[in-house]
Amino acid sequence: MSILIIGGSKGIGKACTEELLASGKEVLVASRTNDEISHLPVEHIELDVLENPGALEGMFDELEGLIYCPGSINLKPFHRLKTQDFQDDFQINVLSAINCIQAVLPALKAGKGSIVLFSTVAVQQGMAFHASVAASKGAIEGLARSLAAEYAPDIRCNVIAPSLTDTPLAASLLSNEKKQEANAERHPLKSIGQPEDVAALAAHLVSETGRWISGQVFGVDGGMSRLR
Ligand SMILES: NC(=O)c1ccc[n+]([C@@H]2O[C@H](COP(=O)([O-])OP(=O)(O)OC[C@H]3O[C@@H](n4cnc5c(N)ncnc54)[C@H](OP(=O)(O)O)[C@@H]3O)[C@@H](O)[C@H]2O)c1
């Protein structure tokens, strides 16, 4: 059986791909590009979740896991956020995830699969300029708990809520040494996250080792959401 990683080609998703391959799993990656993972032994499915998320329907008989990685960091003062910003963030973070989950639901049921979705530290810890992304990611947390309840005991569903992690998505926030140091300093553990830090938990949650965990939201955030 395979684990499908939507957005497994870059950033946290790529680290999940590498981590799961290293533990001997069969990995399928669906994303727009595959340049960064073309050397890895994975099957790549070309997919833009904004264009055609239903493309995954009927493609798999059984799935052991689904990790959905596409997301956004759209930081603006609330008064400058347009309805379109909220709609765009909701589409990539929530609606496209829903479309993908529905498309592979029979395969997840057949494989008694585990779903991992991504939130952000900015849902539990209020942060200025995060209104749009936090609204969407808050919806992800509610969605995940609902799915976990509705599909137990067959399908598990959990959420990881990272703080700032060094990926292409966060590149503009970490574009020079000064920004990197200031961002590391904001965290109680005095560092920003690396994709591997987040992928390790995702791999656990989609694996047999995570078999008794469902409906949870886990902060992988350098202590940001809980420590002072
Ligand atoms: N990085 C952070 O600081 C941070 C903090 C909090 C939460 N998060 C959340 O963690 C998750 C992963 O973040 P990340 O930083 O690893 O993101 P990333 O660097 O942007 O990587 C996203 C992955 O999704 C794919 N993707 C993006 N748009 C897509 C589309 N329309 N259709 C298909 N695939 C698409 C990308 O591949 P292609 O370009 O090849 O399609 C890539 O593999 C996101 O949900 C993000 O909101 C990240």
Band (pLDDT 50/70/90 cuts) for residue 54 is: confident
The whole-model pTM stands at 0.98
d(CA 188, CA 166): 17
- Percentage above 70 pLDDT, the chain: 100
pLDDT in tens, 76-112: 999 999 999 999 999 999 999 999 999 999 999 999 9
Q: Which residue, judged by its Cα, is nearest atom 17 of ligand 1?
A: 169
Residue nearest to ligand 1 atom 45, measured at CA: 71
Can you tell me which atom of ligand 1 is nearest the CA of 36?
40
Nearest of 183, 194, 1 to residue 104 by alpha carbon = 1
Q: Could you say which architecture CATH assigns to the domain 2-165+194-220?
A: 3-Layer(aba) Sandwich (3.40)
Q: Ligand 1 pocket check: which of 17, 29, 32 to mutate, most ligand atoms within 8 Å of Cβ? A: 32
Question: What is the best residue among 31, 143, 163, 196 to mutate for testing ligand 1's pocket, by most ligand atoms within 8 Å of CB?
Answer: 31
Which sequence spans correspond to the domains of the chain?
Answer: 2-165+194-220
Pocket of ligand 1 (CB under 6 A): 7, 9-13, 31-33, 47-50, 69-72, 118, 120, 162, 164-165, 167-170
Report d(CA 89, CA 131) in Å as an integer.
10
